[in-house]
Structure 1
Amino acid sequence: MQAELPQRASPGPGETILAPVRFAMGIVDAPLRWLQRVFGIGGMAAFFLMPNMLIFGIFVLLPFFINFAYSMTGGTALFLADRSFVGGDQYARLFDCANYLNANSCTEDTFWTAVGNTGWFVILQVTLMIIVSLITALILNRDLMARSFWRAVFFFPVLLSPVVVGLIWKWILQRQGLLNFSLYGFGFEPYTWLNDRNWAFAATVGVSIWAHMGFYTLILLAGLQAIPKDLYEAAEMDGTRPARAFWRITMPLLAPNLLVVVVLVLIKAVQIFDEIYVLTGGGPGTSTLYLTQYIYETGFAAQLRNPGLAAAASILMGVVLVVLTLVQLSLSRSSEKKGARK
C-alpha cells in the first residue's frame, strides 16, 4: 500500500494579502543587494541620504545662491534675466551711514531702524524666553496635581498658527478688545495699547514669548527628567541647600539642552515676522518694524520694490545668524573642556 503524500496547505487570507507586498519587496531588494556589493556599507548610507540631500539642495542651497545673485543686481524687475548687474552697490547702499547709531544719518534709514528694533527685540526676548521657559520647566518637573494637564496647557500655544496668535492678541489689545473691557469694569479708561510705541514693542515681546515658550520648555523639561534623582538625594543627605544644588547639579547637567534652546531662540527671534506683522504691522510708525518685515516689504510689498536690496539685507542677516551660532557653539565647547579638566 502506497503512502499518501502530505497535502500542501492552502495559503491563508493573510498570506494572500502579503503576497503582493513580498513580491514588491523582492523587486526592490535585488538592486539594493547589488548596490551593497558594489559600493559597500558606506555607499549604501550615502544612497539613503541622497533623497534628503537632494531636497536640501533644491529648496535650501539653490535658493541661497539665487538670492545671492539677486543681491548683485539692481532695478525693479522681478526676473533675474531682466535685471542689471551692479556688483556690491546694494551692500554699499545698506552700509552708507554717517553714524551707524543714528538711523537718520543713513541712506537706507529704514534698514537701520529695523536693525535697531531687531537688536533690542532679540536682547529682551531671548533673555526673557530662556528665564520663563526654565522656570516653567522647573515647576512642571515637580510632583504637581494634574501635571500632564498643565504641560498640555503651556504647550498648546505652540500648536497655533502664528497668524492665529497675532489675531488673538490683536483682538485682546485693541481699543475695543478684551483687555480694555476687563479694565473698564474696574473703572479704568480704555487705552489704545497698540498705538503706543512702548506698549506696542512690549506687546511684540510678550506675544512671541507666549506663543513659543512651550516648545523650549519641553526641551528643558526633557533635560531635567534625564538628570538622575540619586544626585539630588545624595546632595540632600550632605545638607546641600536647594539653591546650591541647582547651580552645582541642575545647571551643569542641563547645559546641553540649554545651549540648544539658546541657539533656537536666537534664530527664531532674529527671524520673527508672522505674528508681529499681523499684530502691529510694524507700527505705530516703525517702532515694531523688524528685519524680516523690512526684507519682505522692500522686496515684495513696497510700491517701488527693490528685490536686490532685500536680497542683500537677507544675506547679511544670514551671515549674522551663522556667526552668532558659531560663537555660541565655540563658547559651549570651551566651557565643556574646562569642566572636563576640573
Structure 2
Amino acid sequence: MLMILEPVMRVIEWPIKFLQDKLGLKNPAWIFLFPNLVLFGLFAFLPVILNFAYAVTGTDAILLADRPFVGASNFTALMDCENFLDPNSCRDDLFWRAVWNTLRFVVLQVSLMVLFALVTAIILNREIRARGFFRAVFFFPVLLSPVVVALIWKWILQREGILNAWLDGMGLETFNWLLDRSWAFGWSVFLSVWAHMGFYTLILLAGLQAIPRDVYEAAKMDRASPWRVFRKITLPLLMPTMLVVLVLATIKGVQTFEEVYAFTGGGPGSATTLIIQYVYETGFAGAPRLFGPAAAASLLLAVVLVLLTIIQLWINRKNVDG
C-alpha cells in the first residue's frame, strides 16, 4: 500500500512545496483555503451580488443585460401602503399578508416551542425510567425531512384522514381542518413545533446538565419548594441558554417554508402564506416571474435575519465574557 501511495504523495508534494516557497512559511494555509473560498464565493457571495442586481432592475427578463435599471422602485412598491396594519391598503397586498402571517407564525411558534422544549427538557433531565429512549423519541422528528413531516400530518388531517375517522368513530363532528383559515394556521404552527422541538429540547437539556448539582442539594437542605427551586435557581442559571434558543428558534421560524408549503400550499387563500413562500412564488412559480420584487423582498428579509444573527452573536459574547 505504501508503495502505491508514495508516488501519489510525491506528485502532490511538488506543487505544494513550490507554492510554499513562493508564498513563504507564514501563508501555506491559504493554499488549502483557496478551493473552499472559491466555492464559497461562487455559491454564496455571487448569488448575493446577483440578488442586489435583480432587486434594482425591472421586467421579467432573466438576463441582466435585458433588465433596465429601476433603482429602488421594487422596494418602493413593496412598501407602498396607506396602512401597514391593513394589507388591503397596500399596493402589494400579498407581500404584507405574508409579512403579518410570518410575524404571527413566529410569535406563536417560538413561544410554544420554547415552552414545550423547556418542560420536556426538565422532565427528561430527571431520573425517570427509559430516559434514553424518551430522549431519542423526542429528537426523532428532527431527523425527518420537513416535506415528509408535512405529508404525514396532511394525511392525518385531510378530510378523509385518520383524525376525522377517529372522530367519526367516536360519534363526534368531523372538520375540514385544512380548509378553515384558523385551523390551517393553527395546525401549521403545531406541525412546525412538533418537527423542531426536539432540537431545542436537546440544547436546553445540555444547559440543565451544566447547572452544578450542589446548588440543588443546598436548596434541598433549605427545604425549598420545587417551584421556588425552579424560579430562583433553574430559570436564572438556564437563562443564557434560553436566550440562545430563543434567537435560534426565531431565525428558524422566519425562514420556515418547506413544511408549511407542502402542508397547506399557503392556503386556504393566503392564510398560511409566509414570506419565503411569497419570494418563491413571485420569483419562480408565478407567471410572469417577477424577479425584481422577489429579490427586493428577500433582501428585506435578509436585513431582519442579519439583525437576529447580530443579537445571537452579542448574546454568545456576553455569555463568554460573563
Does residue 1:80 correspond to 2:64, yes or no? yes
Q: Alignment partner of 1:277: what SS?
A: helix
Structure 2 distance, partners of 1:175, 1:261, is 36
Give yes or no for contact 2:147–2:259 (8 Å, CA) kept in 1: yes
Q: Alignment partner of 1:304: what SS?
A: coil
TM-score norm. by structure 2 comes to 0.90
Please name the residue that 2:208 is paired with: 224
Q: How many residues align?
A: 321
1:229-278 CA-to-partner distances (Å, cap 9, x unmatched) read 23322332233333333344433443443333222211111111111111
- Closer/same/farther in 2, CA of residues 57 and 183 from structure 1, 3 Å limit: same
Please name the residue that 2:122 is paired with: 138
Q: Alignment partner of 1:73: what SS?
A: coil
1:26-83 CA-to-partner distances (Å, cap 9, x unmatched) read 6556766776775445x34444444433332221121111111100111111222221
Please name the residue that 2:276 is paired with: 292
Q: 1:235 aligns with which of 219, 225, 241?
A: 219
1:120-174 CA-to-partner distances (Å, cap 9, x unmatched) read 0011111111111111111111112111211111111111111111111111111
TM-score norm. by structure 1 comes to 0.85
What one-letter code is carried by the residue in structure 2 that aligns with 1:93? Answer: A
Larger-Rg structure = 1
Over the aligned positions, Cα root-mean-square deviation in angstroms equals 2.4
Give yes or no for contact 2:244–2:316 (8 Å, CA) kept in 1: no
Structure 2 distance, partners of 1:77, 1:216, is 43
The 10-residue stretch of structure 1 (178-187 or 136-145) with the greater mean CA deviation from structure 2: 136-145
Please name the residue that 2:87 is paired with: 103
- Give every structure 1 segment of 4 or more consecutive aligned residues whose post-TM-superposition deviation is greater than 6 Å: 33-37, 334-337
Structure 2: 5+ residue stretches without partners: none
1:165-185 CA-to-partner distances (Å, cap 9, x unmatched) read 111111111110011011111
Q: State percent identity of aligned pairs.
A: 56
The 10-residue stretch of structure 1 (182-191 or 326-335) with the greater mean CA deviation from structure 2: 326-335
Give yes or no for contact 1:259–1:332 (8 Å, CA) kept in 2: no
Does residue 1:187 correspond to 2:171, yes or no? yes
Does residue 1:260 correspond to 2:233, yes or no? no
What one-letter code is carried by the residue in structure 2 that aligns with 1:122? Answer: V
Structure 1 distance, partners of 2:304, 2:139, is 30
Does residue 1:152 correspond to 2:152, yes or no? no
Q: 1:168 aligns with which of 143, 149, 152?
A: 152
Structure 2 distance, partners of 1:95, 1:21, is 62
Give yes or no for contact 2:248–2:312 (8 Å, CA) kept in 1: no
Does residue 1:90 correspond to 2:89, yes or no? no
Please name the residue that 1:62 is paired with: 46
Q: 1:301 aligns with which of 285, 295, 310?
A: 285
Q: Alignment partner of 1:142: what SS?
A: coil
- Closer/same/farther in 2, CA of residues 248 and 189 from structure 1, 3 Å limit: closer
Please name the residue that 1:3 is paired with: none
1:88-138 CA-to-partner distances (Å, cap 9, x unmatched) read 100010011111111111111110111011110011111111111111111
Please name the residue that 2:36 is paired with: 52
Does residue 1:214 correspond to 2:198, yes or no? yes
Q: Alignment partner of 1:240: what SS?
A: coil
Structure 2 distance, partners of 1:241, 1:20, is 70
Please name the residue that 1:71 is paired with: 55
